[in-house]
């Protein structure tokens, strides 16, 4: 681990940050006493993108014809509601 004075760290902070090596750090001293430690952040591992599901086709209108039956009295009021409608 390297050591540098506080004044040198203030003057060259951007360079010091870019020169940090993973697993190593930099000790900052003032009056020959350690006052801080500069360590690199661990790199974030990105997960690989999830595979797309297989394309099964584009839905088309009328594709369910005959599967769903709507009764003729669908729009008629329900017997339970008839007293509220009068």
Residue 32 and residue 6 in contact, taking contact as beta carbons nearer than 8 Å: no
Give the pLDDT score at 48: 87
In this structure, the strands spanning 2-5 and 26-30 are parallel
Give the pLDDT score at 37: 93
Helix (H, G, I), strand (E, B) or coil at 20: coil
Closest to 38 measured CA to CA, from 85, 82, 70, 6:
6
d(CA 25, CA 9): 13
Give the pLDDT score at 1: 66
pLDDT in tens, 9-67: 999 999 998 888 888 889 999 999 999 999 988 877 788 888 888 877 777 788 778 88
pLDDT in tens, 66-80: 888 888 888 888 888
* H, E, C per residue of 31-68: CCEEEEEECCCCCCCCCCCCCCCCCCCCCCCCCCCCCC
């Amino acid at each position: 681990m390297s050591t540098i004075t506080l004044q040198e760290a203030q003057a060259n902070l951007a360079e010091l940050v870019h020169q940090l090596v993973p697993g190593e750090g930099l000790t900052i001293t003032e009056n020959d006493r350690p006052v801080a430690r500069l360590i690199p952040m661990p790199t974030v591992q990105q997960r690989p993108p999830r595979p797309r599901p297989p394309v099964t086709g584009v839905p088309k209108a009328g594709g369910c014809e005959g599967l769903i039956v709507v009764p003729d009295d669908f729009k008629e009021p329900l017997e339970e509601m008839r007293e509220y409608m009068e």
